[in-house]
Amino acid sequence: MTIKVGDKLPDVQVTLATPEGPIPTSTGQYFAGKKVALFAVPGAFTPTCSVKHLPSYVEKADELKAKGVDEIVGTAVNDAFVMAEWNKQQGSDDIVMISDGNAAFAEALGLDFDASKFGMGKRSQRYSMVVNDGVVEQLNVEEPGDYSVSGAETMLGQM
């Protein structure tokens, strides 16, 4: 079943991708008590993710925070080292990266897909959501291959 507005995020193990190295946590623990702008991509360093999706959140970070967002979080089915390097090369200090290396979070949300025909295995769909104290307030899921509703611009328009 796919998560929807008003649902509480499922509590699964994920890893914070930090410059100091991976830090294990759970979604229940991480999202508690804060308002988060969360975006998910099929893969770090992939074309649309790197050229459009991540840059939209880098460029609009100050505006999102001015609208009451405590943190901006990106996630993908990549390991913590890849996510940390992607943030280092193309992200910013305003963005926290969460590694969903085994697709546990994407699966628990019902927002995973099989990209095996592209040699990429299980991946997360492209989406964004506003999460307030672990509860989904806004949800924007892209159609396969699209990038039209999950960027920071859309999220700002919803706040």
Q: Please give the positions annotated as active site.
A: 49
For 66, other C-beta atoms within 10 Å of its C-beta total 11
How far apart are alpha carbons 55 and 90 in whole angstroms?
7
Nearest CA to 6 out of 130, 125, 111 is that of 130
For 51, other C-beta atoms within 10 Å of its C-beta total 11
Q: Please give the full DSSP string across 79-97, using - where no structure is assigned.
A: -HHHHHHHHHHH--TTEEE
